[in-house]
Structure 1
Amino acid sequence: MGYAEFELDIPAVMRRELPMYFDAMEASPLTEESIRNEVTDGAQGAYLLYLGDQLVYVGKTDSQVGFRSRLSRHLKFVSHRHNIDPADVRFKAVRIFVFSNFDLEAMLIEEYTKRNDARPVWNYSGFGSNDPGRNRERQDPADFDLEFPVDIDREVKFLPPGEHTLLDAVLALKANLPYIFRYGTGGAHWRRGHEAMSDVTIRVLEGPVTTRQALMLVLGGLPDEWRATVLPNRVILYPERDDANYPGQVEALRRQP
């Protein structure tokens, strides 16, 4: 017969070839410079994250979220946390031009779990998870956040010396902190802030400013009932009772007398 049918088993090829392709690559530091210069944005593919020499995370991108966006998000996620230095995190990324209808990420996790006798520890740990929303603040913290809680004693460079409106300072914290910062608005849009933030100014002094110091300046301009609560993966700023408590709560800050 002069006719036959051939179907390429793409999942089998990926399972066999892709881990070896990753093995032949050198990992790059997870920095904005490397992300900007080394990867193609808007591309579909798979990537690995390493902490030191240990493979800790397997991920994939799709047509909606490219490499630059995804890796930059991960860089932000590991910044300003205890027990981890972003300089120790590296990545490998491979653009894949032909995608098949199968779960590439799950396949790679399975293959590396077999190879290393252990699953990449950041997969299914809560690493890179989305903001769960105000109504879920009382959920138990994720394993990743318990191991690497946020560090509010890191220097921030987005509040220069001088006078700032309290709302501008709050918006700067929300826009620039590498973790979730949420605050009460009294029902107003988040850009408008709470009415207690209106017509209030704070003064940032010369010298390095940490997130803790910035929060204390903000609290100094708010009524006594306001509190900044540090959770393993975020900071929230709300009017709170003294006995208010959240699962995994690290500390609570009040304005100084």
Structure 2
Amino acid sequence: MSLGEQRDLGNYAEFKLSITKALGDQLSEHLATLAKAPLTAENLAKLPPLKGVYQLYRHGDLVYIGKADRSLPQRLSRHLRKLSGRENTDIEQITFTALSVDEDFNAVTPEELLIKKHQGDGEAPWNYNGFGINDPGKERDTTFFGPDHFDQQYPARLDWVIDGLPVGKIDLKSLLQIAKTNLPYTFRYAHYRDKKKIEFYAEFEVILDAPEMRAGEFFELVSAQLPSPWQITVLPGYVVMYPEKLRSKSARRYYIEGKSFDPADLT
């Protein structure tokens, strides 16, 4: 393992110190010796709650390099939940390797070392296409997501089953809280009716006749309770609900007053 490059001119030499490259190579070599394990709750439960780095693979190909600042199983569990709620992914084909790292340097993180090591080989594409982003924030709701963005390639599932619902009457505020916890992607909604901060979800009651429903059915049910201009907008990777007519080039579906609309229907 070389730590640098040298150019010798006789009585004078130039030496470029490459400690970070050596460390990146060492981390990569350690991870390469590990067997890829399926990304399942059972396998994650076997990991110690230590900080470290990890690599995700899809169909055996390295797609993402990440770090856990506190707990490897906790961080990987978030990825398991996120990927389970996306279209075009077969969670059984997602595997991982993980390495606990006791850092004693602050200039660069182990994650950055590994990314730099692999980026030149065209590996770890999810590190550059938005996979690691959670809720991008309201100001990004009208952003156009290109075809290479993670959320466009693997959009949020509208057939995700929301379970644990109480059969019978329930106020809309409680129902929204249950769904927000259950859904494996961001469901962001306004908490107030207007600028006066008058909360009104608790004023509405719905009757549920089954303990579960698909996400698309849920959004249709909720939108039926809310008057215009409220609408639910399904974006590539998340869903928002606000009292305004949001039109986004990246919208996949709208739910307005109990009806489902394709974006083309509203242009």
| TM-score (ref. length: structure 2) | 0.80
Q: C-alpha separation between the residues in 2 aligned to 1:230 and 1:179?
A: 11
**Which residue number corresponds to residue 87 of structure 1?**
92
Whether the 8 Å CA contact 2:163–2:211 is kept in 1: the answer is: no
Whether the 8 Å CA contact 1:228–1:235 is kept in 2: the answer is: yes
- Alpha carbons of structure 1 residues 187 and 202: separation in structure 2 relative to 1, 3 Å: closer
Q: C-alpha separation between the residues in 2 aligned to 1:235 and 1:194?
A: 23
What percentage of aligned pairs have identical amino acids? 31
Q: C-alpha separation between the residues in 2 aligned to 1:166 and 1:74?
A: 29
Q: Offset of 1:183 from its aligned partner? A: 1.0
**Which residue number corresponds to residue 157 of structure 1?**
163
Q: Offset of 1:141 from its aligned partner? A: 2.9
**Which residue number corresponds to residue 264 of structure 2?**
none
Whether the 8 Å CA contact 1:138–1:246 is kept in 2: the answer is: yes
Secondary structure of 1:59's aligned partner: strand
**Which residue number corresponds to residue 173 of structure 2?**
167
Secondary structure of 1:78's aligned partner: helix
Amino acid at match of 1:90: T
RMSD: 2.4
User: Which of the pair has more CA radius of gyration?
Assistant: 2
Counterparts of 1:169-184 in structure 2, within 5 Å, are: 169-184=175-190
Whether the 8 Å CA contact 1:112–1:120 is kept in 2: the answer is: yes
| TM-score (ref. length: structure 1) | 0.82
**Which residue number corresponds to residue 210 of structure 1?**
214
Q: Offset of 1:169 from its aligned partner? A: 0.8
Which aligned runs of 4 or more in structure 1 are off by greater than 6 angstroms? none
Task: Count residues with an aligned counterpart.
Answer: 237
**Can you give the 5+ residue segments of structure 1 that lack an aligned partner in the other structure?**
1-8
Whether the 8 Å CA contact 1:46–1:96 is kept in 2: the answer is: yes
Secondary structure of 1:74's aligned partner: helix
The alignment status of 1:137 with 2:141, answered yes or no, reads yes
Counterparts of 1:59-138 in structure 2, within 5 Å, are: 59-62=66-69, 65-101=70-106, 102-114=108-120, 117-138=121-142
**Can you give the 5+ residue segments of structure 2 that lack an aligned partner in the other structure?**
1-17, 260-267
Aligned counterpart in structure 1 of residue 64 of structure 2, from 31, 37, 57 = 57
Amino acid at match of 2:87: H
Secondary structure of 1:164's aligned partner: strand
